[in-house]
Structure 1
Amino acid sequence: MVRNSRAPALSRDMTPFPTRQLAVLAMCRICEPIAFMSIFPYAYYMVKSFGIAQTEAQISVYVGMVTSAFAFAECASGVFWGRLSDRIGRKKVLLGGLFGTGLSMLLFGFATSLPMALIARALGGLLNGNIGVLQTTVAELVTVEKHQPRAYSIMPFVWCLGTIIGSSLGGLLAQPAHSYPSVFENTIFETYPYLLPNLVCTGIVVFGLSFGVLFLEETHEDKRDDRDRGREVGQWLLGKLWRREDYAPLTDKDEALEETTSMLTSPTLCSSRSSFSDPPQFSLEKGCQSSPKVRAAFTKQVCLNIVGYGILAFHTISLEQLLPILMSHEESKQKPELPFKFEGGFNFSTQTIGSILAVQGALQMVAQLVVFPWISKRLGSLRTFWLTIALYPFLYLIAPYLALLPRRFRIPGIVLLLVWKVTAQSLSYPSLNILLANSAPSKRVLGTLNGTAASSASVCRGFGPTISGAVATLGDNMGVSGLAWWTIAGVAMIAWIPGSFMKEERRRPGFQGIDEDEETGLSVALVDTGSDADSVITLTSDETAEAVLSKQ
């Protein structure tokens, strides 16, 4: 038996950051926040144009229904899309979700009644399960734990950027016949005043869908070796545009090397021993690692993460609703009866509120790209999550008291509140995503788990604005404007319970591609067809590839 004693050639530290594929994924992802947020600037006026509301309060209720329709429908289908991605692959489901988004936006643009608008929004939620599948794709792309903070900060950053673009498009392009009569008067856009922003958003979605078909890789371990004609066309196009060897068609030798390397680094490598003294024999057969049953996949840590998702989504979406209300309410003319009985707000104009929310988006992008990776690398995902859920209740307890500040301190007070808010959001959600990815027993069921977490968040996002809005109305009637804030502070405190039982688990071997005891190198037993069957050569991964190619 001949053994090679060279230094190991395979190390997790040498794994490059998946920049290209995350960039492609980001291009697909940004389409959705643009489409989702584009309706908010004109939703109130659109519902008003339906002529079914008698008062402004009723308009607000119907706008809430339109907003919640997407969340509730997404909740109903989230688990289905996650499980489907475990069966047919991530790419197909992601692209299908983009198609559903585009179709929903097109129908919404033609809506002339509340039922039609609700159906269009609900259809978008039913056909789009991309939140959970997207997190699964990121988890499968990022195979090194030290890359996780950086990678998991990219998609929230893309979402923030998309919300800014989407809100701007919705505000500028709605009612074009009224805003730009010389161009759009006596056209279809006069009959359907909210069609133009939806057409533009649909065009953006079509671009993202085409980009994904051509350049997005499949990350599911059982599907990533399947032929992808879309990517073949994309590589051909890149080869024609840049004429670089990187994009040239693979030769037979290159295909053999790629297949061998893929098998060597695949998490489906299995080893078996007849006894403890026998050397391990590795099987290169695909699928040797069985998928755990769905019920077994929901471990204690996974369930704690899913509960944490729901609680976090409930109070953060309530915050998004209560903050503009606080800024727009008129100043109180009654003397406050501290500590609890007082009312009023900042009495900011809509322009001021819009400017503040734009600043909020910019702050969140900075926090997502800079603050989160820095803190997560030093504290770890679990401690970072603990830090945010510990401080969230105090944010809600303090917020309503800012309305009692003298006028010269109100802007600094609201800026401090926004910095606290965006930092907490930028730290909490990515940390929870990493914890869920690392606690999954196998990435073969990660789509199902992320889909369930997304459904948990969606149903809470559906109920959050409704419940917090009702409590805010009750508080205003009682002269206690902080009641809704203190209620969601109580909800945020509930998150301490599951959070205290969470544990930070290392990535399992199924995610790394190699076992912990194989970190120093990969030994593969190859039977030399030109010698006796008992002659076994133990090689590193690079040498193995060369040996296989030499036999071609």
Structure 2
Amino acid sequence: MPLLDTSVEPPNLFPTGFPIRQSLLVLLNILPEVMIHHMLVPLFPFMTMTLMSRSDDIAGVSAAKSNYAYYAGLLQSAYFFPSIFMTVVWGCISDRAGRKPVLLCGVVGYGLGAMLLGMSTDYGVAMLALIVCGLFAANAAVAKCMMGELSLTDEARAFGYSVYGVAYGAAGIVGSALGGLLGDPALFAGSSFLQQRPYFAACALGVVLAVAAASSNCLFLKETINATWTYDSAVPSTQEALQRRPASSSLVVFDGDAASENGLGCSCKSHGRVQLPIPTPIPVPVPTAVPGGNGCRSLKNTIKFVVLRLIRVARRLSMVIGSLLASRPGAIVGPTVPVILYATYALCNSIYGTSLPVLIAAAPHQGGFGLGPREAGVAMTTLGIAKLCAKLFFYPLQRRFGTLSVYQIGCALLVPAALIPPLFGSSSLWPSLLVSAVLIGIGEGLLYVSAIVMVTHFARPEHLGAVHGVAGCLVSLARTLGPYVAGLAWQRSALSGQTWIVFTLVSLSAFAGLVLVRKIDTKASDAGTTDTKAFDI
């Protein structure tokens, strides 16, 4: 008799329907964007000081060097401003042309922008380079769509987004640490080129990552739009799973007592809390193009062709807006509230991410701590580590408490944690910085993953890319306004010695998210849910 019973299969480390290799390739395509941005976050105040010291009188920059916090915020806003428009554009393009080519365009364009930034010695050129990066900074939104499409069960989707968040957080940790180290002036001794461009090393590393990501995209990454390949013989492909869906709305049971069909031919466990029907995608007639004869169109046919194209775009936009504003039958809300909650997280993240490095870099007479890039990198790395730990534990927390409860926990942590450095930093510098960074990191990690899970869940399948594009648009708007508002508020509050005012904006934004997420619980109660304490998505 054998010592081990070989008939018992070992437990799976990953949920059914989760493709490991393809998921890793998707994550590799967002690595340049995440790494470059996080390397630059602790360097923005010091980068601004260097650029302003070498720039001519651009909009009064050289005459107002004490306002570097304001111009550091402008640099970050210049990066996020194009994303307000381009994220939704890239999302819609990915719905039509596929996720893979859009990811490839993103890494190539982002790499070119990083190269231009690394070579710049002028404030205006640096702002232009960041705008170029922002034009192609949509890979994160497209990758979220791809991760959702790769996962064939709700359990695999929650796990996949948890892995996405962990990878994003790990890249942020490494990026923040490398940004502080590569921006240390001690490394540039004896090199006039690097002394004039203390951010070149970070940008050069980002370009290398972009080349590696583009190569993996071309060679190994598979398309998920109209995909026919399968992950496992027991798991249907995406196309087969959609074909199995009944003509009527199929039922997804989240967190209940028994296993039930989720509409994709797979089963998942639930505890009887919420039952959400997923509507069958409604086919919308699309006008066809009017071909011209022998490669030439008459004026009449050309006008008709343009009108039909405009109608096609208008119908597409109306479908997306309708899915955002209209609630699904039996569901709690459409994706509108989750998208707003996602933007709320982004606003908190951008304001705190701008204010903390400025607080560290500012001179004591300006209300700061007077530290260098290395210390700023340590604080941001600590925040990244805490955020990574929160994303690691999101999956079990989400299964235990539900997504909305996890979001509430994140908001509750941000409200007091943002005020710790300005209030207690003068007496306890490093304890206040580290405690605040840890609490903020945990809160942001929980908010981030729970927000993208909610956005993906409430979006119609045929509008998934467009809804994530709209979400990315609002997130980019929040991240454009956040650094600008933070820099402006810092300059005004530093004059009066009340630097805690800018950090109050983080607490107020988190409190607003805490209030807004409760609206979903109220809707759940109205829908006949017996348990409004937690809502599992």
Same fold at TM > 0.5: yes
Match of 2:352 among 319, 330, 341: 319
| Unpaired stretches in structure 2, ≥5 consecutive residues | 1-13, 249-279, 285-315, 326-332, 525-537
Match of 2:334 among 301, 304, 329: 301
2: CA distance between counterparts of 1:379 and 1:271? 30
Which residue of the partner structure matches residue 452 of structure 1? Answer: 470
**1:463, CA displacement in angstroms?**
0.9
> What are the superposed Cα offsets for residues 65-100 of structure 1, whole Å, 9 maximum, x if unpaired?
222111001112111111111111111111111111
Are residues 1:290 and 2:299 paired?
A: no
Which residue of the partner structure matches residue 212 of structure 1? Answer: 217
**After superposition, where does 1:483-502 map in structure 2 within 5 Å?**
483-502=501-520
2: CA distance between counterparts of 1:95 and 1:117? 24
Match of 1:382 among 404, 407, 414: 404
Which residue of the partner structure matches residue 70 of structure 1? Answer: 79
**After superposition, where does 1:516-531 map in structure 2 within 5 Å?**
none
**After superposition, where does 1:357-436 map in structure 2 within 5 Å?**
357-369=380-392, 371-403=393-425, 406-407=427-428, 410-436=429-455
Taking structure 1 as reference, are residues 25 and 99 closer, same or farther at Cα in structure 2, changes over 3 Å only?
same
**1:328, CA displacement in angstroms?**
5.1
> What are the superposed Cα offsets for residues 483-523 of structure 1, whole Å, 9 maximum, x if unpaired?
222233223322234312226999xxxxxxxxxxxxxxxxx
CA contact (8 A) 2:118 2:201 kept: yes
CA contact (8 A) 1:328 1:348 kept: yes
Taking structure 1 as reference, are residues 360 and 92 closer, same or farther at Cα in structure 2, changes over 3 Å only?
same
Are residues 1:26 and 2:44 paired?
A: no
2: CA distance between counterparts of 1:172 and 1:263? 44
Which residue of the partner structure matches residue 9 of structure 2? Answer: none
3-state SS of paired residue (2:243):
coil
> What are the superposed Cα offsets for residues 383-430 of structure 1, whole Å, 9 maximum, x if unpaired?
1112222443233355533236x54xx533433222211110110110
3-state SS of paired residue (1:143):
coil
**1:272, CA displacement in angstroms?**
6.1
Which residue of the partner structure matches residue 17 of structure 1? Answer: 18
2: CA distance between counterparts of 1:401 and 1:194? 31
> What are the superposed Cα offsets for residues 288-316 of structure 1, whole Å, 9 maximum, x if unpaired?
96368223221453111122222221122
**After superposition, where does 1:327-338 map in structure 2 within 5 Å?**
327=360
Taking structure 1 as reference, are residues 504 and 74 closer, same or farther at Cα in structure 2, changes over 3 Å only?
farther
Larger Rg: 1 or 2? 1
TM-score, normalised with respect to structure 2: 0.70
CA contact (8 A) 1:101 1:205 kept: yes
Task: Please say which of residues 427-436 and 351-360 is displaced more in the overlay.
Answer: 351-360
**1:318, CA displacement in angstroms?**
0.8
Which protein, 1 or 2, shows the higher relative CO under an 8 Å CA cutoff with sep ≥ 6? 1
Match of 2:456 among 437, 441, 454: 437
Which residue of the partner structure matches residue 131 of structure 2? Answer: 122
Taking structure 1 as reference, are residues 47 and 448 closer, same or farther at Cα in structure 2, changes over 3 Å only?
farther
1: CA distance between counterparts of 2:447 and 2:505? 20
Task: Please say which of residues 99-108 and 477-486 is displaced more in the overlay.
Answer: 477-486
Work out the percentage of aligned pairs sharing the same amino acid: 23
Match of 2:379 among 341, 352, 356: 356
**1:170, CA displacement in angstroms?**
5.1
CA contact (8 A) 1:131 1:451 kept: no
| Unpaired stretches in structure 1, ≥5 consecutive residues | 1-12, 227-253, 274-286, 333-342, 507-552
2: CA distance between counterparts of 1:469 and 1:264? 49
Are residues 1:265 and 2:270 paired?
A: no
Give the letter for the 1:433 counterpart. Answer: I
Task: Please say which of residues 104-113 and 164-173 is displaced more in the overlay.
Answer: 164-173
1: CA distance between counterparts of 2:483 and 2:489? 10
3-state SS of paired residue (2:18):
coil
Task: Please say which of residues 158-167 and 92-101 is displaced more in the overlay.
Answer: 158-167
Are residues 1:37 and 2:38 paired?
A: yes
1: CA distance between counterparts of 2:202 and 2:395? 35
Question: For the aligned residues, what is the CA RMSD?
Answer: 3.7
**After superposition, where does 1:532-547 map in structure 2 within 5 Å?**
none
CA contact (8 A) 1:152 1:434 kept: yes
Taking structure 1 as reference, are residues 470 and 189 closer, same or farther at Cα in structure 2, changes over 3 Å only?
closer
